[in-house]
Structure 1
Amino acid sequence: MHDDRKLVEARLERVLRERIRPAIHPQTVPLTVEIWSTSGEPVPVAEGLSAPTRPISAGTPWGTPWGTSWFKVSGTVPEEWAGRTVEAVLDLGFTRRSPGFQCEGLVYRPDGTPVKGLHPRNSAVRVASPATGGEQVRWHIEAASNPDIDGEVPFQPTLLGDRATAGDAPQYVLGSMVLAVFDETVWNLVLDLEVLGELMAELPVEGARRWEILRAVSRALDAVDLQNVNATAQAARDELASVLAAPAVPAAHRISAVGHAHIDSAWLWPLRETVRKVARTASNMTALLDDDPDFVFTMSQAQQFAWIKEHRPEVYARVKQAVADGRFVPAGGMWVESDTNMPGSEAMARQFVHGKRFFIDEFGVENEEVWLPDTFGFAAGLPQIIKAAGSKWLLTQKISWSRTNTFPHHTFTWEGIDGSRVFTHFPPVDSYNCEMSGGQIAHAARNFKEKGVASRSLAPTGYGDGGGGTTREMVAKAARMRSLEGSATVEWEAPAAFFAKAEAEYPDPPVWVGELYLELHRATLTSQAQTKRGNRRSEHLLYEAELWATTAAVRTGAPYPHEELDRLWKTVLLHQFHDILPGSSIAWVHSEARRTYARVTGELEAIIAQAQQALAGARSADGGDSVAGSGEVVFNSAPHGRGGVPSGGAALSTSAAAQASPVSRAGGGYVLDNGLLRVEIDGRGLMVSAYDIAAAREAIAPGQAGNLLQLHPDLPNQWDAWDVDAFYRNVGTDLTDITDLRVDGSAVRIERAFGASRVVQLLSLPADAKRIDIDTEVDWHETERFLKLAFPLDVRADRYASETQFGHVYRPTHQNTSWEWAKFEACNHRFVHLDEPGWGIALVNDSTYGHDVTRSVRAGADTGTTTTVRASLLRAPRFPDPETDQGVHRFRHALVPGAVIGDAVREGFRANLPERRVPGTNAVATLVTVDDDAVVVSAVKLADDRSGDLVVRLYESSGGRTRATLRIDGFLADRAVLTDLLERPLADTDLPDRSHDGVALTLRPFQMVTLRVPRA
């Protein structure tokens, strides 16, 4: 045989497409179809089943954007099909786009029990095998007409992302709905040919195995009668049997296939649609588990299980049974697959607390693996949190998306800022939506970087993002590649089984220290500023609510709001999902998030107020009641060192922190001077001097100006809401023109106009603090622009610190290598800090995350170094939300000259935790104090098990070792127990109270501990 390989490959592709695949269903009869539609919110299943319908035929448009239509299909299996396998093929009008990004459906029986989900790669529903003839088919389909937001041309602005602007034009045209004979032999022939064809294309041209497969495929195609495929399919399969039976070589790479459907909890669809996506996918997967005994499916995100439990209890019952059988595996142990860069310390910890507790309570399952395939980079504090939650493994795939540097490992140990280490795997298949194609499997084996020392990798297999999951075709392909010469081997396994084997095989992998920075999607640190502000505010309100509710419970016996706090934490954690908090979802998601954050704020403010009122007006020592309004109690929630948590004083009319130094006129500008700092603001409203009087040190670089707003064009090459490309820095405009400059009370007020936007700033200097407060209000109406707030500083620093979970991470200020260059936009929480020996400076904020730090050497006689810190304020991408960030925004920053790290930590909390004033006369003594400024208390709460025990979480914040004493004022504490994040005691960890003097602690750099203190 002398067939040219390209001719055989071309022949295979056409014959499959035009002859063999169509023969899978050789006989069909139409079903009768009726429809009822609603453009509003989805109705309960019972209502959809009983709704009045009208006839509809194939070719008819249906489905307004975000609407729901209920189809009723009915028919009878022909008598002559007796003995055959029969299924319904139900085409809602699917386009060529992938599942999850278009119309979808869930099939129900007339009694409301779910059958399975429908999407463009999974539209067949089994009727009978074998049929007896005459079977009646009566089904209902809840069909969602979700618009294709991304469309044929990606990243184009669209109004379809908000129901209020999407219009009512039908989105889909109904396809055919038929009963069909299913020819399993032809179906198997298709899969034989696909697997061999895909493998053949990946094998070396000079290798014998490629030519062996090519000749077998050629013989099989000769054996097919193109006019009667069904009668000759088995003969064609016989020609392929020998090459399919050849086993893999012993050294073949081993792939653990994990059934998977990465479902974004919101993205190009709203949260309410994800509830249905999860139900459809779970229905499909439980049905597939019934069909194949080897298949294993995993699903992460406890929130998604909770949605099924609440909204689709029939589906949940099937899921729960499959979990009990060990086939449907809850994975990851987090409430959602969250962003990990921006969530604060406690929020990141609570992702694991709530996620793991749900899986333990519902299924008796505790995860040791963390499952974050699509998260946009990983903060350096995460390993400690993973370990403290009782987990030890991490899986992600997203780092393979990095555009500048190729990560050097697929299996490695990741070390965090405190020294905690986690065994980590990046699947070399480079996809969290593996379709089990021969090309993908070959790529995984070829791409695997640990060849020679390890042999295993994982492949998350199934349609994801918008859901759908694994298909029967993927399962069948995996079976063919279980042991196939020329291919990696494939075996279905749960994530924990893979990790246990991989770790045993490779006990001493290389170590990567510090953050896992994704060299892509950097703009997610800035997009949708109001969503980010809502998150930051909610995190701190939750901290305050737990703190003051605990203090009130201990001191006054007030009830502790367990249920409310649990619900509110879960709401905030849900919105930290990696397409909500990062600002990369449609308009509907973010407008809903703004409303949700407003509701959360109201509820938490009420909890805080109630607790503080109980404390301020608590019964006095002599038994009398305090007189409301006779004084004022100031509540300070600062969780930092000797300041204590909480602190309060009685009958204070104003706090020193609220007082500001006066402003004096100087030339065309103003001077603020409080004896600690002298700040000069010129006639442009720019900060030309910030002088540390005690240190005799100028903070602003010579000839430069701080508080400088800079505007850049911002049109990335793709992924508008996600990306900012380095070339944005090539062009920029300094906003120096002013429309107003004047004194406003004790502040300097600056107003500017640019484009269609307006900004007002208030600069003030507190009377007794070394910081300059900068309050900025922007009425933003730009598009495709990037707004920065710049401070060129007279500091030579090779590195700078950015706050992250339970500490800070250092990044270089230089760009010696491509790894440093790629971090041109990075994340911080409440502060960035840089210093020279003996003097430093911090920039703190109340709601921003993105920033950049650059350095330059000044020309001329000075030749000093200018290090410029810029906070990212606003962007204006047009996809997926064309109105991103239009409107009014408020930011608070503070520049802190002379700051050490401890000052940066303290001022960062101050910017985010306002003092509160409550009428009353009772001084409120501090409940919890720590005698070392380096130790930060991140949570004071009552135990989740409702025992009444006090739980305190704290950490070392400076990056050094410390000895500290924790003291509790409010009850006799004769012992404290070290626990994990779920408040479970760790072995042999009682910490004795030294004669009630306090709990002595020795902490290593950035160590976080959780203490449980029983109440006598």
Structure 2
Amino acid sequence: MHQNLTLVEERIHRVLTERIVPAVYSARVPVALKAWMVPDEPVPASEALAADYAPFAVGDSWGRAWSTWWFEVSGEIPTDWAGRTVELLLDPGFQGDWPGNQAEALVHTADGVQVKGIHPRNHYVRLTDEAAGGEPVHFFVEAAANPDILVNDFIPTKFGSKKTAPEKPIYTFRTAELAVFEPEVWGLQFDVEVLYQLMKELPETEPRRHEVMRALERALNVLRLDDIVGTAASARAELVDVLSRPASASAHRLSGIGHAHIDTAWLWPIRETKRKTARTFSNVLALAEQYPDFRFAASSAQQYAWVKERYPHVWEGIKAVIAAGQWIVVGSQWVEPDGNLPSGEAMVRQITQGMRFFRDELGVETHGIWLPDSFGYTAAFPQIAKLAGLDWFLTQKISWSQTNKFPHHTFWWEGIDGSRIFTHFPPIDTYNSTLEGEELHHAVRQFRDKGKATTSLVPFGYGDGGGGPIREMMERQRRVESLEGSPRVEIEHPDEFFAAAQAEYTDAPVWVGELYLELHRGTFTSHAREKRGNREAENRLREAELWWTAAALKGAEYPYEALDRLWQGVLLQQFHDILPGSSIQWVHEQNEEDYAIALAELERSIAEALAAAGLSAAVVNSADHARRSLALDADGTPLALVETPALGVASLVPVTPAHPVTAERDGDAIVLDNGLVRVTVDARGLVTSIVDLAENRELVPAGRVANLLQLHQDLPNAWDAWDIDAHYRYTYDDLDAADAVELVVDGDLRARVVVTRSFGTSRLTQTIAVNADDARVHFAVDLDWNEREKLLKASLPFVVHAHHHSAEIQYGHVRRATHTNTSWEDAKFEVMAHRWVHVEEPGYGIGVTNDATYGHDITSAPSGRRERSRPRCA
């Protein structure tokens, strides 16, 4: 019997793929092509339509990487096609079948109005449901020659930037033709496909499997392979019975919602994302017209804003389908940001900017966080979301964890202040579902809350690079909405899903603390300049708003629009493939340019605010605590020790230090001392001793050194920009050879040891400083980095017996174990912190602060291994 079943499956598969699918189009005629290559960056449609087009033909090559070409398409529907359904088919040379990471196109009318996008799974334009015959066809197609970055998986590539990409064309135009679309064959395709996929998922002992198999056999026996069009209806009639049998009352219910995950930047630059939104959203509008029961959810206010600015026809279409209830705004945020690295204020602004745009521009109030694809989620998220008035949180990414399976798919997530938000992870394990049988049954098998909950959510549609839902998915959904042997798939608003899931699962479990992703830990560190730019921009925005508020109290006009624009720019750069450093080189280059422009504008704005507030000649303190610290000039030279109140202003009046700094040489060592802390630096420029003089306590373990830079190999098993794998810790070189070790004394205010080191093709300068009246030791590194597949860390071993460490996150801190008693703890060998981490034993603790670092490795010293408490340096 098993052999017979296998033979039947082979027959069904071959007839479906080799006969039925090709027969969906029964007649074809070519259309004429002309082409114009845009000289550089993309241009508006009005400019492209006025360009001079040259002859072009199917089979011609086009498109160096990242270039844009426009194609003029012209033809005429044959007169003998009267009464038939006709479509325009275009294939500019697709490589593979997944949209978004290769050639893409947007079809325009001859008047420049956007019609719909073209991608490998959606390469048609419906011209007419019932042709009169003789109608002219005339379109313009904007084609983007985006390279397939993943052709060699996730490894470095020259195609990551226009500056390095090869010049030769990368695409060959394959198809440009008119075709007759056969609705009955189309229907047969999905009758057979859905039943065939169902049959494969059912056990061989299940009677339903055999009923489906026999029905498919009868259908194929009726179908004439030399007349698919003529016999399709008869074949479909053989399947009516098995397709009409409803799902059982206990069948798992999947709440389906159309979706198109569009990464705001990733394997393409932001400029390309602006065009992806038009392609995908125009596809959605076309699908909504064709399928009245279709529903689509899209997040990211920034992407809507781009459409409003650049594609008014698409924008008006979106507003119309929102009013019709077919388009659902979700997410509540400006972009889908990284879930760990933005500051608390930035996370609040993501929500306030997003919700404000959706309310003011679209008249929509959103109710949840839609963040399927980020690399872990801070424990502060629940309170931020609840304070914004939001009710639910959705993600999918935690299913990627390598070590431990998360125990729930539906649960309450509790944050650091006790706030809880209802949360769901779709067990289908993708936010790009195609609604095929294997995925649907996988969701049922995976669902971890069986017995108490009966429903889960499935976002369907091509994504990452956009593309979105296609009509094939809607055909599958219609057949599995209620089909015996299959989970039910019902189109539903996400708000309705969450309300029903919460009502059903009244005793849902509670997960307390962060949602740590046991994967992609390198995103805490990759592209350090982007991390620094983000931290500096967040800090400067806070300062600018603070001092402009002070100026406004003096009668100055608050620059609301300018600061709002700057905030939106920073929020954009916090997207979950920009700030984590997991994009192509072009994105990183633009990121650094944008930060440089924004920071320069913020510095000017802060200076203007201080002048307007009459504070130009004062010492200002934007911190929320009083400070006694060094005032430095533009070159970093100490001017004086000054005292300033919290969020306040003081005159530049020097304070005599109560604990002045002394520096002396002790043989080959240098000792820095201010009566609060004493630091000893050896001839190699390494810290051999840090003594807390108030406690008379040595902090550096005997025989060890602090501020030791260690160069590790960095070749993870996969995902180079994303991952740091545990094995990296065991192969490294200590950078303990110094080119020079110099003592620099700035009177009694500061003493510094400046160390220069060379390694590989790189060079760095370390500074170890002690300041007057300051119990801290200041470490700095100025790095000229030219290494590949290397990781540089700063080792700071301390004599403190701590089972846990505390790490700053948004609006608070989390405590994590420093031991590895369980697999959950062992998986956290790399963790995220914002400005500080702290380790403590009863009665004593040590903190490490940073100005632009997020990745840390904070562990106890296991037997046989070196003790570590190392914030990442670069």
Give TM-score scaled by structure 1 length.
0.83
State whether residues 660 and 764 of structure 1, in contact with CA within 8 Å, keep that contact through their aligned partners in structure 2: no
Partner amino acid for 1:199? Answer: L
Given that 2:687 and 2:705 are in contact with CA atoms closer than 8 Å, whether structure 1 keeps it comes out as: yes
Find the aligned partners of 1:255 and 1:349 in 2 and give their Cα distance: 32
Q: Does 1:469 align with 2:454?
A: no
CA displacement 1:786-819 (0-9 Å, x = unmatched): 1110111111111000100000001000001110
Distance 1:655 1:423, change over 3 A: farther
User: In the alignment, does 2:799 pair up with 1:801?
Assistant: no
Residue 829 of structure 2 is aligned to residue 830 of structure 1: no
Deviation at 1:231, TM superposition (A): 1.2
Instruction: List aligned pairs for 1:438-453, cutoff 5 A.
Output: 438-453=437-452
Structure 1 counterpart of 2:641: none
| Residues 333, 351 of structure 2: 8 Å contact kept | yes
Which stretch of the first structure deviates more once superposed, 636-645 or 209-218? 636-645
Helix, strand or coil for the counterpart of 2:349?
helix
Q: Structure 2 unaligned runs (5+)?
A: 628-643, 746-750
Mapped to 1, the partners of 2:13 and 2:38 lie a distance apart of: 42
User: Contact 1:415–1:421 at 8 Å: present in 2 too?
Assistant: yes
Instruction: For 1:606-645, list aligned pairs within 5 A.
Output: 606-616=604-614, 632-640=617-625, 645=646
Q: Which amino acid is the alignment partner of residue 317 of structure 1?
A: E
Q: 575, 592, 595: which is aligned to 2:593?
A: 595
Instruction: Kindly indicate whether residue 20 of structure 2 is the aligned counterpart of residue 20 of structure 1.
Output: yes
Asked if the contact 2:339–2:378 (Cα under 8 Å) also holds between the matched residues in 1, the reply is: yes
Deviation at 1:730? 2.0
| Correspondence 1:120 to 2:125 | no
Asked if the contact 1:794/1:866 (under 8 Å) is kept, the reply is no
SS at match of 2:165: coil
Residues 1:792 and 2:793 are matched in the alignment: no
How far did 1:661 drift? 2.1
Amino acid at match of 1:634: V
Q: Is the 8 A contact 2:97 2:121 kept in 1?
A: no
**Number of the residue aligned with 2:533:** 534
Paired AA for residue 609 in structure 1 = A
1:299-310 equivalence runs, <5 A: 299-310=298-309
The corresponding residue for 2:583 is 585
2:42 equivalent to 1:42: yes
Pairing 1:706–2:691 present = no
Corresponding position: 1:697 with 2:702: no
Q: For 1:540-569, what per-residue CA distance to the aligned partner results, in whole angstroms no more than 9, with x for missing partners? A: 000000000001111x11110100010000
Match of 2:557 among 549, 554, 559: 559
Alignment correspondent of 1:971: none
**C-alpha separation between the residues in 2 aligned to 1:741 and 1:509?**
60
How do residues 599-998 of structure 1 correspond to structure 2 at under 5 angstroms? 599-616=597-614, 632-640=617-625, 645-652=646-653, 661-745=661-745, 746-856=751-861, 868-874=868-874
Q: In the alignment, which of 564, 568, 571 is matched to residue 569 of structure 2?
A: 571
> What CA deviation, in whole Å up to 9, does each residue of 1:417-443 have, x standing for no partner?
110101000000000000010111111
Q: Which amino acid aligns with 2:173?
A: L
Q: C-alpha distance in 2, partners of 1:592/1:2?
A: 58
1:95 corresponds to:
95
**Are the equivalent residues in 2 in contact too, given 1:793–1:866 (CA < 8 A)?**
no
- Secondary structure at the aligned position of 1:592 is classed as helix
Write the deviation string for residues 882-931 of structure 1: whole angstroms up to 9, x where unpaired.
xxxxxxxxxxxxxxxxxxxxxxxxxxxxxxxxxxxxxxxxxxxxxxxxxx
Determine the structure 2 residue equivalent to 1:898.
none
The alignment partner of 2:495 has SS state of helix
Give the whole-Å Cα distance in 2 for the aligned partners of 1:560 and 1:504: 46
SS in 1 for 2:808: strand
Aligned-residue offset at 1:215: 1.4
Note the residue ranges of structure 1 that are not aligned, 5 or more in a row: 618-627, 860-864, 875-1016
Q: What residue in structure 2 maps to residue 918 of structure 1?
A: none
1:201-253 deviations in whole A, cap 9, x for unaligned?
A: 11112111111111111222222211221111112111111111111000110
Answer yes or no: is the 8 Å Cα contact 2:89–2:124 preserved in 1. yes
Q: Distance in 2 between matches of 1:103 and 1:536?
A: 36
> Which residue of structure 1 aligns with residue 106 of structure 2?
106
1:367 offset after TM fit, Å? 1.1
> How far apart are residue 648 of structure 1 and its match?
1.1
Partner of 1:910: none
Change (3 A) 1:656 1:827: farther
Distance 2:155 2:863 in 1: 43
2-structure distance, mates of 1:366, 1:435: 29
One-letter code of the match for 1:836? E
Q: Is the 8 A contact 2:155 2:720 kept in 1?
A: no
Q: How does 1:314-329 map to 2 (within 5 A)?
A: 314-329=313-328
* Separation (CA, whole Å) in 2 of partners of 1:784 and 1:465: 26
Amino acid at match of 2:572: L
- In structure 1, what is the equivalent of residue 238 of structure 2? 239
Matches within 5 A, 1:235-314: 235-314=234-313
Amino acid at match of 1:772: V
Q: Which residue of 2 aligns with 1:394?
A: 393
Helix, strand or coil at the partner of 1:635 = strand
Partners of 1:737 and 1:455 in 2: how far apart? 63
1:276-317 CA distances to partner (integer Å, 9 max, x unpaired)? 001110000011111111110010000000000011111101
Match of 2:422 in 1: 423
Cα deviations by residue, 1:833-880 (Å, 9 ceiling, x for unpaired): 011111100111000100101212678xxxxx9852112223xxxxxx
CA distance in 2 between partners of 1:660 and 1:596 (Å): 42
Decide whether the 8 Å contact of 1:764 with 1:772 is kept in 2: yes
* 3-state DSSP of counterpart to 2:100: coil
> Which letter maps to 2:828?
K
2:653 is aligned with what amino acid?
L
Number of aligned pairs?
853
Structure 1 distance, partners of 2:415, 2:2, is 59
Q: Which amino acid aligns with 1:188?
A: G
SS of residue in 1 equivalent to 2:21: helix
For residue 23 of structure 1, report the CA deviation from its aligned partner.
0.5
CA distance in 2, matches of 1:752, 1:314: 59
Task: Give the Å deviation of 1:39.
Answer: 4.3
Cα 1:459–1:870, aligned 2, differ >3 Å: closer, same or farther? same
Deviations 1:361-410 (A, max 9, x none): 11221111100000110001111100111102000000000000000000
Name the SS of the counterpart of 1:35 in structure 2.
Answer: strand
Aligned ranges 1:357-396 → 2 under 5 Å: 357-396=356-395
In the alignment, what sits opposite 1:520? Answer: 519
TM-score under structure 2 length normalisation: 0.96
SS in 1 for 2:588: helix
In structure 1, distance between residues paired with 2:101 and 2:478: 28
> How does 1:207-246 map onto structure 2 within 5 Å?
207-246=206-245
For residues 608 and 811 of structure 2, what CA distance do their matches in structure 1 show? 29
Answer whether contact 1:149 1:161 (CA < 8 A) is retained. yes
What's the secondary structure of 2:796's corresponding residue?
Answer: strand
Asked whether the equivalents of residues 762 and 787 of structure 2 are also in contact (C-alpha less than 8 Å), the reply is: yes
Identity of aligned residues (%): 52
Tell me, in whole angstroms, the C-alpha distance in 1 between the residues paired with 2:209 and 2:532: 57
User: CA offset at residue 469 of structure 1?
Assistant: 0.3
Provide the C-alpha distance between the structure 2 equivalents of 1:83 and 1:354, rounded to a whole number of angstroms. 50
Indicate conservation of the 8 Å contact 2:341/2:854, yes or no.
Answer: yes
CA–CA distance in structure 2, aligned partners of residues 873 and 40 of structure 1: 39
Residue 39 of structure 1 contacts residue 64 of structure 1 at CA under 8 Å; is this kept in 2? no
Q: What secondary structure, in the 3-state scheme, does the structure 2 residue paired with 1:160 have?
A: helix
Q: Give the 3-state SS of the residue equivalent to 2:548 in structure 1.
A: helix
Aligned residue runs from structure 1 range 125-164, under 5 A: 125-151=125-151, 153-164=152-163
Does the 8 Å contact 1:761/1:774 carry over to 2?
yes
**Aligned in 2, Cα 1:72/1:436: closer, same or farther, shift over 3 Å?**
same
Q: Distance in 2 between matches of 1:598 and 1:669?
A: 40
Please give the root-mean-square deviation of Cα atoms over the aligned residues, in Å: 1.6
Instruction: Report the more deviating stretch, 19-28 or 637-646.
Output: 637-646
Helix, strand or coil: the match of 2:782? strand
Conserved 8 A contact 2:803-2:860: no
